[in-house]
């Protein structure tokens, strides 16, 4: 089952609750919350207060992507917010194994995200513990960037590696997902598609999500 996770980064924050409900009614499967701290990435977005408000606005699972330094300090607050899935940037973790365990011990699904320049080997020794792996297909920090094509080979390599290891964490993609790229991304082996500007920038969320679903469920 392939899933669509709209990123609220591109939503209208003056009407955030309505915007979350709107994508739920339009067929979204998860709600993706992009947390940026102005240090790990050159942008500041939202924190646990917004993640908690998001959980109250929908019955869909909240997926928190931490693009922050020192995630261990903030993970307990995001767990309290009600998030069901939390991913950390592998590059931002001094002790990635410990961070993953911290998330899992709270009964929350744990993911590791990899920047476009980070090799898959960065997660080799935690891969068995991961519930999902997030391949960043843009450099993190901003919505609306162009999809980096080399991400497709990275997904294919990851898919083959997981098969060899007989592991099945979800593969998530984030950045530049739109009606032109989604089919190729899906064919490479992605399970969860994060899309911000392509959904929230469209005039009809239902039409956009339905078109995405048609393309990924062929
Ligand atoms: O994590 C992100 C940026 O760091 C966003 O989730 C991502 O860029 C989605 O935006 P878009 O779909 O507009 O590319």
Residue extents of the structural domains in the chain: 3-216
* Nearest atom of ligand 1 to the alpha carbon of 41: 4
Average pLDDT over residues 112-139: 98
With contact defined as beta carbons under 8 Å apart, do 6 and 31 qualify? yes
Q: Is the CB of 70 under 6 A from ligand 1?
A: no
Residue 94 DSSP SS3: coil
Q: What is the pLDDT of residue 182?
A: 98
Residue 194 DSSP SS3: strand
The tokens describing 12, both together, are 């209208």
Q: What is the pLDDT of residue 1?
A: 86
pLDDT per position as a tens digit, 54-102: 999 999 999 999 999 999 999 999 999 999 999 999 999 999 999 999 9
Domain 3-216 has CATH 3.20.20.70: yes
Average pLDDT over residues 172-180: 98
State how far the Cα of 10 lies from the Cα of 86, in Å rounded to an integer.
Answer: 19
- Arithmetic mean of pLDDT over the chain: 98
Q: Is the CB of 6 under 6 A from ligand 1?
A: no
Q: Band the pLDDT of 218: cuts 50, 70, 90.
A: confident
Q: Band the pLDDT of 179: cuts 50, 70, 90.
A: very high
User: Ligand 1 atom 4: the closest Cα is on which residue?
Assistant: 140
Q: Report in angstroms the alpha-carbon separations of 202 from 23, 85, 104, 128, 130.
A: 11, 26, 35, 38, 33
Q: What is the pLDDT of residue 37?
A: 98
Q: What is the pLDDT of residue 80?
A: 98
Residues in the chain: 218
In the chain, the N- to C-terminal Cα span, in Å, equals 11
Res 5 pLDDT > 90: yes
* Nearest atom of ligand 1 to the alpha carbon of 175: 14
pLDDT per position as a tens digit, 129-147: 999 999 999 999 999 999 9
Res 17 pLDDT > 90: yes
Provide the ipTM: 0.96
Dist. CA 139 → ligand 1 center (Å): 9
Average pLDDT over residues 9-18: 98
State how far the Cα of 44 lies from the Cα of 25, in Å rounded to an integer.
Answer: 28
* Nearest atom of ligand 1 to the alpha carbon of 65: 1
Catalytic annotation, pick one of 29, 37, 131, 174: 174
pTM assigned to the model: 0.98
Q: What is the pLDDT of residue 125?
A: 98
Give the CA diameter of the chain.
47
Burial of 174 (0-12, 13-18, 19+ CB in 10 A): buried
Q: Is the CB of 48 under 6 A from ligand 1?
A: no
For residue 142, say whether it is annotated as part of any ligand binding site. Answer: yes
Q: Is the CB of 144 under 6 A from ligand 1?
A: yes
């Amino acid at each position: 089952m392939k899933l669509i996770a709209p990123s609220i980064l591109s939503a209208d924050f003056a009407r955030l609750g309505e915007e979350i409900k709107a994508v739920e009614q339009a067929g979204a499967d998860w709600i993706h919350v992009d947390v940026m701290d102005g240090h790990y990435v050159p942008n500041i977005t939202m924190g646990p207060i917004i993640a908690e408000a998001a959980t109250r606005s929908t019955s869909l699972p909240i997926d928190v992507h931490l693009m922050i330094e020192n995630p261990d300090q903030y993970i307990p607050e995001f767990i309290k917010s009600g998030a069901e899935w939390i991913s950390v940037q592998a590059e931002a973790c001094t002790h990635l194994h410990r961070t993953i365990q911290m998330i899992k011990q709270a009964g929350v699904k744990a993911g590791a995200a990899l920047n476009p320049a980070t090799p898959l080997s960065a997660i080799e020794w935690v891969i068995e513990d991961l519930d999902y792996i997030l391949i960043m297909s843009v450099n993190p920090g901003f919505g609306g960037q162009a999809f980096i094509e080399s991400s497709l080979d990275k997904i294919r390599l990851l898919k083959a590696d997981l098969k060899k290891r007989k592991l099945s964490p979800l593969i998530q993609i984030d950045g530049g997902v739109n009606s032109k790229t989604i089919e190729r991304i899906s064919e490479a082996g992605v399970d969860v598609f994060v899309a911000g500007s392509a959904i929230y920038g469209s005039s009809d969320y239902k039409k956009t999500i339905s078109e995405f679903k048609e393309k990924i469920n062929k």
